[in-house]
Amino acid sequence: MHINNQNIGCLFDLDGVLVDTAVYHYKAWKDLANSLGFDFTEAQNEHLKGVNRMRSLDMILEWGGVEKTAAEKEVLATTKNEAYVKMISKMTESEVLPGSLKLLQDLKASGIKIALGSASKNSGLILERTGLAPLFDAIVDGNHVGTSKPDPEVFLKGAGLLGVEAQHCIVFEDAQAGVQAAIAGKMKVVGIGQAANLMGADVVISDLSGITVEEIVALIK
Ligand code: B16
Ligand code: MG
């Protein structure tokens, strides 16, 4: 198939790529752990990035050596989420990470399709608060998938909604689990952050101001 911009798809992770909601996740999980009588470090928190809510809770409880029933875990996850939603409800456009808005606008102007591929069940609120929502052709988040990254489901669904073949998709990810998900989906990956945390990415940049539409298109041609 001849590749033109209309059959290229860009799939963006949310937390750590477009916005830094990780600080709010960390605060809400830390408060929850403290209420249970233990703490965890920022280094441990790195392992929660890209991981869905219930899996994150399981990891934190394991770090604290605390066991809970399934029903108790539901209550704890809800408590954390309520605190988190309270914080993200106050987010503004100023919290969009450097280069994100310009790259999304440039991609849109060039006719390349754009989807969200996030583990979060709160992506709708975040995209609305930060003004990014109108730039997306499709949204796939934690409400639409049964598996968590590194399973490629979230990105394959995004490609399907965009009507673009997987090999014509480029994923933007800040978490190792997300890079693995993109590779499992046979997609190209742009890693955001430190190369050591993004093994297998085709290119690694520190934020979205570090790449142009031309460089993105060149990745699949
Ligand atoms: P929620 P992403 C992920 O977002 C976060 O990195 C991760 O820390 C969080 O646990 C997960 O979303 C679920 O979020 O509790 O809001 O459903 O990086 O996949 O955009
Ligand atoms: Mg992320």
Which among 159, 144, 220, 156 has a CA at the least distance from the CA of 184?
A: 156
Kindly report, residue by residue over 29-78, the tens digit of the pLDDT: 999 999 999 999 998 998 898 889 999 999 999 999 999 999 999 999 99
Q: Residues with Cβ within 6 A of ligand 1?
A: 13-16, 25, 48-53, 56, 81, 118-122, 142, 175
pLDDT at 199 over 70: yes
The model carries a pTM of 0.94
**pLDDT class for 21, splitting at 50, 70, 90?**
very high
CA-nearest residue, atom 14 of ligand 1: 120
Give the dihedral sign, CA 100/102/103/104: positive
The CATH code for residues 22-88 is: 1.10.150.240
**pLDDT class for 221, splitting at 50, 70, 90?**
confident
CA-nearest residue, atom 8 of ligand 1: 49
> Which segments of the chain belong to CATH 1.10.150.240?
22-88
> Which segments of the chain belong to CATH 3.40.50.1000?
5-20+96-220
Pick 5-20+96-220's CATH classification: 3.40.50.970, 3.90.79.10, 3.40.50.1000, 3.40.190.10. 3.40.50.1000
20 assigned to active site: no
Residues in the chain: 221
pLDDT > 70: percent of the chain:
99
pLDDT at 158 over 90: yes
User: How close is the Cα of 146 to the center of ligand 1, in Å?
Assistant: 14
Q: Which of 13, 30, 47, 49 to mutate to test the pocket of ligand 1 (most atoms within 8 A of CB)?
A: 49
15 assigned to active site: yes
